[in-house]
């Protein structure tokens, strides 16, 4: 190897200095490839096919190219000159290797390659022999590239059919033939995720074919759709293989993605086998113009459907508002609110019995206006930024990380490491001293503002959640918070006697605050887990860095709390810088795997695609659909307690049900369409198509094993016995 390198470096210097350039680069008398023409048989037989081989033997380190050369290079071409009546087929390309050249990837061959061609011999041939001529043109590259051309010839006698014997090269040619790619036994499809500029190839085949596969690579047949140098992480579960690829320059998503799937098994260099693949584009790719659109009407605007939390379902809104109300009520127990509340209660008790109701309502009005203003601000901010192209969605890894960072910071705040808005207390103070109902209105406003140091963590969490929701839910949640927040004062205004049930202010308030930090940390931990599923280890690294950076900034903020203003600004600047670095890091991290846990499921699952569903329905087969996402806790619980249990698995198998799992962790228009069709804004959604053209049944959002089994048994197929052969 060493002296070749030296020689080529020398060649470069000669080239660089000018006079040597022609010699170094132009194909002089010295060729880097030896080309010979071989035939499988010792003679040609009229009316038969003969396999011939162009064998290229490269000097060490040099390579020639596959039919798609990849990022640079040019494939070998053979121009045949054959006697009248003989015709040559195309080159039968052997399996190529990936040749990495700096940031580029080329597809080709080193050492030696045997290019087989089949030549059809006519029934009638004139003369006793034929001469097969081939002009072989190829580009051979090492660090530099040289186009070479060789003319090779082979003269073979003509013998009657069956008389020709195998040539000396028969074994070599047979070996090359047996190593040629074969059509994939099974089906292949692919889908594109334009937002991530990624492609996913899904292959369903015989389980045995995939057993022991340690590496898989897709070689696209043509340039444009697939980025050549990007790694292609694979996942195998049973008879299914998925490969994640990066989109190429054109970002084209052709109807069929053609190429070669190469699987490597065994140790060391391994044993490679190639399969020709023609993957149909899944309808959920770049643009969906599917049947599902019927229900949706106008397309998805920037915020039409916000996949967020499972609570966005039909009954979810009420629950979310209820929790918001409880959360708001709990805000009153915070150290900076509770004393105010206690004072107000005292005031009510001291004064006369009448008139408090009005004051209470004025207070309520003040609080609600404040919370309403916050909601309006969030909606305006969100719509504004959505127009700017920010995607406030859980599918964006950067958003998930931002949210995790927010929860972490809010947790730190509750833990007492950092404090927010301590200076805001006095703003509305003078207003609230006004007499009468106006005074109470502003007391409400003040309470909302004054409480900021304590409520910010909760507000932050609520806002973080509300961000992912449609505007009306967001407004409902904020007003729910406000109602809850105002509730104690309103109740006391109606019935001052109730004040004795209030606990006394004390250290317990601080303790409570500190304890409440931990659910926030837990939420942050969960979000990092979501991120790990979206992006793999790179995303987790980004999250870890974000946490360290923010932690450091928090410590610094504490340390510099009494310094001059520019010094004080370092900590927040550092926090912002941390996010500025880690968010793009998370966003650009390579996707490693889907959320579908490969390891555990005993239930044979297939990825949900509309095409697959339509196919199964057309066959009259029963289908169970699970639409899920990594960030959906309800989904995970349902899978654990119901769908992945052995009783459900057995019931599915017994009924011949195909289990389709749709992963909505990242945006998938096909799944969004299906959700919309069933009036859902988010996952989970469980559907059972009983087969035989019956209408689908929607299962509840909370599943048990018994419920699922009952549901699939509930209405047996009308015409029994079941015609399903697979059952």
Which residues are near other proteins by CB under 8 A?
A: 9, 11-13, 15-16, 18, 21, 24-26, 71-74, 101-104, 106, 139, 141, 143-147, 223-224, 249-250, 566-567, 569-570, 573-574, 577, 580-581, 584-585, 588
- Are the C-beta atoms of residues 324 and 481 closer than 8 Å to each other? yes
DSSP label at residue 608: -
The DSSP secondary structure of 179-245, one letter per residue, reads TS-EE-SEEEEEEEETTTTEEEEEEEE-HHHHTTEEEEEEEESSSSSB-SSS---EEEETTEEEEEE
Taking the C-alpha atoms of residue 178 and residue 594, their distance in angstroms, rounded to an integer, is 35
Q: Count CB neighbours of 682 within 10 A.
A: 26
Nearer to other proteins, 302 or 588 (CB): 588
Q: Count CB neighbours of 461 within 10 A.
A: 19
- Min CB(64)–other proteins separation in Å: 14
Nearer to other proteins, 427 or 544 (CB): 544
- Are the C-beta atoms of residues 529 and 633 closer than 8 Å to each other? no
Nearer to other proteins, 88 or 145 (CB): 145
Tokens for 211, please give them.
């057993």
- Are the C-beta atoms of residues 674 and 612 closer than 8 Å to each other? no
Taking the C-alpha atoms of residue 650 and residue 329, their distance in angstroms, rounded to an integer, is 47
- Min CB(279)–other proteins separation in Å: 21
Nearer to other proteins, 585 or 674 (CB): 585
Nearer to other proteins, 100 or 646 (CB): 100
- Per the listing, tokens 């001059």 go with 564
Nearer to other proteins, 242 or 396 (CB): 396
Nearer to other proteins, 11 or 241 (CB): 11
Taking the C-alpha atoms of residue 321 and residue 334, their distance in angstroms, rounded to an integer, is 20
Cα-to-chain-centroid distance, residue 206 = 26
- Is residue 222 classed as helix, strand or coil in its secondary structure? coil
- Min CB(253)–other proteins separation in Å: 14
The DSSP secondary structure of 269-280, one letter per residue, reads T-EEEEEEEEEE
Taking the C-alpha atoms of residue 648 and residue 642, their distance in angstroms, rounded to an integer, is 7
- Are the C-beta atoms of residues 402 and 590 closer than 8 Å to each other? no
- Min CB(405)–other proteins separation in Å: 16
φ and ψ at residue 50, rounded to 5 degrees: -125, 135
- Are the C-beta atoms of residues 464 and 406 closer than 8 Å to each other? yes
- Min CB(78)–other proteins separation in Å: 14
Nearer to other proteins, 199 or 361 (CB): 199
- Min CB(76)–other proteins separation in Å: 12
- Min CB(191)–other proteins separation in Å: 21
Nearer to other proteins, 545 or 702 (CB): 545
- Min CB(250)–other proteins separation in Å: 5
Cα-to-chain-centroid distance, residue 502 = 50
Nearer to other proteins, 139 or 528 (CB): 139
- Min CB(724)–other proteins separation in Å: 48
Taking the C-alpha atoms of residue 449 and residue 459, their distance in angstroms, rounded to an integer, is 12
- Min CB(269)–other proteins separation in Å: 24
- Min CB(725)–other proteins separation in Å: 48
- Are the C-beta atoms of residues 360 and 490 closer than 8 Å to each other? yes
Nearer to other proteins, 145 or 376 (CB): 145
- Per the listing, tokens 């909505």 go with 664
- Per the listing, tokens 């923010």 go with 550
- Min CB(102)–other proteins separation in Å: 4
Nearer to other proteins, 64 or 415 (CB): 64
Tokens for 461, please give them.
């969490």
Taking the C-alpha atoms of residue 460 and residue 431, their distance in angstroms, rounded to an integer, is 26
- Is residue 87 classed as helix, strand or coil in its secondary structure? strand
């Amino acid at each position: 190897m060493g002296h070749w390198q030296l020689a080529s470096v020398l060649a470069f210097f000669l080239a660089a200095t000018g006079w040597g350039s022609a010699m170094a680069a132009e194909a002089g008398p010295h060729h880097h490839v030896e080309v010979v023409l071989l035939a499988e048989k010792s003679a040609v037989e009229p009316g038969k096919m003969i396999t011939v081989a162009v064998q290229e033997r490269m000097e060490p380190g040099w390579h020639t190219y596959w039919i798609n050369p990849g990022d640079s290079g040019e494939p070998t071409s053979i121009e045949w000159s054959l006697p009248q009546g003989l015709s040559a087929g195309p080159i039968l390309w052997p399996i190529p290797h990936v040749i990495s050249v700096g940031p580029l990837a080329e597809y080709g061959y080193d050492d030696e390659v045997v290019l087989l061609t089949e030549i059809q011999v006519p029934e009638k041939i004139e003369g006793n022999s034929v001469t097969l001529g081939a002009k072989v043109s190829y580009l051979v590259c090492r660090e530099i590239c040289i186009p070479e051309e060789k003319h090779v010839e082979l003269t073979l006698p003509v013998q009657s059919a069956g008389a020709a014997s195998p040539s000396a090269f028969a074994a070599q040619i047979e070996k090359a033939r047996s190593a040629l790619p074969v059509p994939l036994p099974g089906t292949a499809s692919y889908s594109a995720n334009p937002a991530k500029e990624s492609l996913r190839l899904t292959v369903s085949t015989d389980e045995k074919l995939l057993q022991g596969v340690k590496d898989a690579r897709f070689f696209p047949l043509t340039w444009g759709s697939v980025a050549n140098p990007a790694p292609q992480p694979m996942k195998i579960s049973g008879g299914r293989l998925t490969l994640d690829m990066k989109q190429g320059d054109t970002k084209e998503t052709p109807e069929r993605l053609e190429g070669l799937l190469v699987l490597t098994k065994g140790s060391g260099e391994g044993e490679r086998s190639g399969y020709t693949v023609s993957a149909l584009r899944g309808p959920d790719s770049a643009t969906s113009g599917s049947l599902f659109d019927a229900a949706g009407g106008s397309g998805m605007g920037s915020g039409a459907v916000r996949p967020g939390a499972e609570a966005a379902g039909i009954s979810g809104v009420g629950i979310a508002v209820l929790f918001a109300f409880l959360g708001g009520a709990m805000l009153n127990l915070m150290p900076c609110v509770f004393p105010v509340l206690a004072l107000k209660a005292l005031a009510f008790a001291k004064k006369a019995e009448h008139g408090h109701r009005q004051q209470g309502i004025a207070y309520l009005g003040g609080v609600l206006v404040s919370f309403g203003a916050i909601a309006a601000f969030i909606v305006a901010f969100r719509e504004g930024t959505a127009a700017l192209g920010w995607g406030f969605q859980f599918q964006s890894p950067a958003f998930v990380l931002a949210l995790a960072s927010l929860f972490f910071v809010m947790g730190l705040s509750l833990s007492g490491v950092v404090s927010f808005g301590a200076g805001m207390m006095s703003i509305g103070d003078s207003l609230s001293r006004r007499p009468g109902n106006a005074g109470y209105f502003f007391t409400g406003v003040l309470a909302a503002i004054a409480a900021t140091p304590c409520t910010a963590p909760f507000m932050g969490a609520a806002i973080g959640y509300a961000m992912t929701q449609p505007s009306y839910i967001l407004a409902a949640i904020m007003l729910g918070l406000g109602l809850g927040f105002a509730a104690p004062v309103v109740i006391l205004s109606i019935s001052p006697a109730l004040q004795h049930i209030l606990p006394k202010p004390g250290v317990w308030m601080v303790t409570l605050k500190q304890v409440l930090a931990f659910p926030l940390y837990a939420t942050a931990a969960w979000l990092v887990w979501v991120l790990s599923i979206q992006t793999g280890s790179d995303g987790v690294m980004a999250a870890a860095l974000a946490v360290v950076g923010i932690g450091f900034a928090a410590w610094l903020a504490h340390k510099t709390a009494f310094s001059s203003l520019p010094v004080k600004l370092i900590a927040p600047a550092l926090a912002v810088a941390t996010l500025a670095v880690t968010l793009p890091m998370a966003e650009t991290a390579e996707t490693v795997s889907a959320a579908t846990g490969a390891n555990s499921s005993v239930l044979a699952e297939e990825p949900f695609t509309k095409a697959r569903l339509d196919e199964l329905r057309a066959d009259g087969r029963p289908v169970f659909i699970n639409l899920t996402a990594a960030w959906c806790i309800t989904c995970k619980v349902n899978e654990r307690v119901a769908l992945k249990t052995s009783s459900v698995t057995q019931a599915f198998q017994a009924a011949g049900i195909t289990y389709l799992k749709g992963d909505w962790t990242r945006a998938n228009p096909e799944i969004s369409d299906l959700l919309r069709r069933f009036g859902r804004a988010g996952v989970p959604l469980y559907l059972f198509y009983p087969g035989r053209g019956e209408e689908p049944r929607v299962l509840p959002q909370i599943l048990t094993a018994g419920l699922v089994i009952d549901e699939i048994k509930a209405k047996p197929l009308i015409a029994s016995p079941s015609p399903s052969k697979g059952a």
